[in-house]
Structure 1
């Protein structure tokens, strides 16, 4: 039987939350990659010149936006994977900043959270 970790949900619940968030992040990453590929293909076939074509700036903006969203989703996935390691090690639910417990409600809302609200607001 799993023993509860300090400050957070029981390990089984934490794994469940993290798995659900991870699945969502993977889905977003795949979708963003498809969209980015589509934008690249469109810009290749249209032969637009980003600098001189009125549509070029829009395509460049969309490409940059998608790239930024993909970067964010990848970082989220990495944070979720680090949280899963903390669950396995028994340190999930403990703030990496001050060592205090992370509020269970915070972990329910943000399963990958590694800091308490106090430490998160100090950044």
Structure 2
């Protein structure tokens, strides 16, 4: 049961950090969007570097990735509650502790990582 508690602690810590990061990224995205609305600059041809559109695109991608990670953490916490955390969703065998330590949201053993049934 100690392992379950450790897993819960790691996942809950990861969740807190991910929520904070998501909020910060969304604030940054909103700032870029607001800046673009108030500007009449031709950012497409700005020789000074990254365009507002590029920054918005980059932040949007980071928001999406962070939201996906939060979904993975929430799914792992749900598996923990259901008593199936640490079992491969393909073969049902235990996922090695080292894999779960490295990737607490893992849903499969290494052999079945990337398996089409797990998407």
The residue that corresponds to 1:38 in the other structure is 31
Instruction: State the shift of 1:28 in Å.
Output: 1.0
Instruction: State the shift of 1:85 in Å.
Output: 0.8
The residue that corresponds to 1:60 in the other structure is 53
Mapped partners of 1:92, 1:10: distance in 2: 11
Give the structure-2-normalised TM-score: 0.86
Mapped partners of 2:42, 2:91: distance in 1: 52
Alignment of 1:100-119 (within 5 A): 100-119=93-112
CA contact (8 A) 2:11 2:104 kept: yes
Task: Indicate the larger mover: 70-79 or 41-50.
Answer: 41-50
Instruction: State the shift of 1:108 in Å.
Output: 1.0
**Quick one: higher RCO (CA 8 Å, sep 6+), 1 or 2?**
1
The number of residue pairs the alignment matches comes to: 116
Mapped partners of 2:46, 2:7: distance in 1: 50
Alignment of 1:63-78 (within 5 A): 63-78=56-71
CA contact (8 A) 2:44 2:51 kept: no
Instruction: State the shift of 1:55 in Å.
Output: 6.5
Task: Indicate the larger mover: 94-103 or 67-76.
Answer: 94-103
5+ residue gaps, structure 2: none
Aligned CA RMSD, in angstroms, stands at 2.0
